[in-house]
């Protein structure tokens, strides 16, 4: 999180504790009123908002995806993501509220992702949210991105604490035990890069944006698509961390091995970097298999 975002967050006097206390007025005699929360998410390249009640029902939601923009540059550029969040956050929140049939004065609180994520993107959501809670005098709930991912299952399934959770994305790889809301026991995590980041980099090295079947796909999705028609047995990559008896992960060494194999195949086929290998499906299949075996 940037220094500006940190200072903004410090200025908030009503946080999660205030929200918990605010629930005490939800009951009046035998009559119970629903607590409605507006959630705002701008941690990376999607601008999202939703209204959720205290029973876990999503009453309305809206999303603006930046995928097409970032596909053109081969990855997310933070300043571009920030500008797109700025341009769309007002509309996205308005659409979520309209879809839910709820107005801001009816909300019990506003919950917003504050970490981890791209600092410039997080700052947009945080600024917007703090302005909202200031204008309408609502409690503010700072949300940890990965904790939110872990707890989302409880919106759709009756999962009791504790439970084991594996969180995988372009920026994270975490194995933990969810013992309660905001109570997590970390068992292991990536000591370098995340699996999604690694797959995106391999896709760029393979120039999959030039592949006729993958020109509109993100890197990880392109690897997955080509792996379906590939033979993983044509390439063997050493599993990471075999010498360690813990739950941590590592993907940077695997990426180096894959890059070396790609270079060797380019030399064998007499092509330049940037051209498509004839065995690209097999490499994709082998990479995906190795990543999956390492994780599981």
Considering the domain boundaries, does residue 169 fall inside one? Answer: no
Burial of 79 (0-12, 13-18, 19+ CB in 10 A): exposed
Q: Using CA atoms, how far apart are residues 184 and 199, in angstroms rounded to an integer? A: 27
Residues 6+ apart with CB under 8 A from 10: none
Q: Using CA atoms, how far apart are residues 42 and 83, in angstroms rounded to an integer? A: 11
**Residue 194 in contact with residue 251, Cβ under 8 Å?**
yes
Distance between terminal CA atoms of the chain?
A: 31
CATH for 82: 3.30.420.40
Q: Are residues 139 and 203 in the same domain?
A: no
Considering the domain boundaries, does residue 57 fall inside one? Answer: yes
List the beta strands (DSSP E) in the chain. Answer: 27-28, 31-32, 36-41, 46-53, 58-65, 109-115, 140-144, 163-168, 173-180, 183-189
Residue 97 has pLDDT above 90, yes or no: yes
Considering the domain boundaries, does residue 55 fall inside one? Answer: yes
**Residue 43 in contact with residue 145, Cβ under 8 Å?**
yes
Considering the domain boundaries, does residue 172 fall inside one? Answer: no
**DSSP notation for 242-293:** TT--SS-B--HHHHHHHHHHHHHHHHHHT--BTBPPTTHHHHHHHHHHHHHH
Q: Using CA atoms, how far apart are residues 142 and 145, in angstroms rounded to an integer? A: 10
pLDDT in tens, 219-269: 899 999 999 999 999 999 999 999 999 999 999 999 999 999 999 999 999
Task: Give CA separation, 214 vs 139, 204, 218, in Å.
Answer: 45, 11, 8
Q: Are residues 138 and 42 in the same domain?
A: yes
pLDDT in tens, 174-221: 999 999 988 999 999 999 999 999 999 999 999 999 999 998 898 899
Residue-number span of the structural domain to which 97 is assigned: 37-145
pLDDT in tens, 138-183: 999 999 989 999 999 998 899 999 999 999 987 889 999 999 988 9
Task: Give CA separation, 80 vs 27, 47, 200, in Å.
Answer: 45, 13, 19
Q: Total domain count for the chain?
A: 2
Residues 6+ apart with CB under 8 A from 160: none
pTM above 0.85, yes or no: no
**Average pLDDT of 5-26?**
47
pLDDT reported for residue 73: 72
Q: Are residues 44 and 109 in the same domain?
A: yes
Considering the domain boundaries, does residue 51 fall inside one? Answer: yes
Of 83, 114, 145, the residue at which a domain comes to its end is 145
Q: Are residues 199 and 135 in the same domain?
A: no
Q: Are residues 135 and 217 in the same domain?
A: no
**Residue 241 in contact with residue 256, Cβ under 8 Å?**
no
Q: Are residues 207 and 291 in the same domain?
A: yes
Considering the domain boundaries, does residue 141 fall inside one? Answer: yes
Of 107, 125, 145, the residue at which a domain comes to its end is 145
Provide Rg for the chain, Cα atoms.
Answer: 22
pLDDT in tens, 46-77: 999 999 998 889 999 999 999 888 877 767 88
**Average pLDDT of 283-296?**
96
Q: Using CA atoms, how far apart are residues 269 and 283, in angstroms rounded to an integer? A: 14
**Residue 6 in contact with residue 18, Cβ under 8 Å?**
no
Considering the domain boundaries, does residue 14 fall inside one? Answer: no
Angle between helices 219-227 and 195-205 (to 10 degrees): 80
Q: Are residues 52 and 125 in the same domain?
A: yes
Of 111, 145, 179, the residue at which a domain comes to its end is 145
Considering the domain boundaries, does residue 64 fall inside one? Answer: yes
């Amino acid at each position: 999180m940037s220094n500006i975002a940190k200072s903004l967050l410090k200025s908030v006097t009503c946080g999660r504790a205030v929200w918990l206390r605010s629930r005490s007025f939800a009951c009046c005699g035998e009559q119970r009123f629903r607590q409605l929360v507006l959630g705002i998410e701008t941690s990376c390249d999607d601008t999202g908002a939703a209204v959720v009640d205290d029973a876990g029902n999503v009453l309305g939601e809206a999303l603006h995806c930046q995928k097409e923009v970032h596909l053109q540059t081969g990855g997310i550029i933070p300043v571009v993501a920030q500008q797109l969040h700025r341009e769309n956050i007002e509309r996205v929140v308005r659409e979520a509220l309209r879809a839910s049939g709820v107005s801001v004065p009816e909300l019990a609180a506003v919950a917003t992702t504050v970490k981890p994520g791209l600092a410039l993107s997080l700052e947009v959501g945080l600024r917007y949210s703090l302005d909202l809670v200031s204008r309408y005098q609502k409690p503010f709930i700072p949300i940890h991105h990965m904790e939110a991912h872990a707890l989302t299952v409880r919106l759709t399934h009756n999962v009791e604490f504790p439970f084991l959770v594996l969180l995988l994305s372009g920026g994270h790889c975490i194995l933990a035990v969810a013992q309660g809301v905001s109570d997590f026991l970390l068992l292991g995590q990536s000591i370098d890069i995340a699996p999604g980041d690694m797959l995106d980099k391999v896709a760029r090295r393979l120039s999959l944006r030039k592949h006729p079947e993958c020109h509109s796909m993100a890197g990880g999705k392109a690897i997955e698509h080509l792996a379906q028609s590939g033979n993983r047995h044509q390439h063997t990559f050493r599993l990471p961390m075999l010498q360690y008896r813990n739950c941590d992960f590592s993907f940077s060494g695997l990426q180096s091995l894959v890059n070396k194999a790609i270079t060797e195949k380019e030399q064998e086929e007499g092509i330049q970097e940037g051209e498509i290998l004839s065995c690209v499906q097999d490499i994709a299949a082998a990479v995906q298999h190795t990543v999956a075996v390492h994780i599981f």
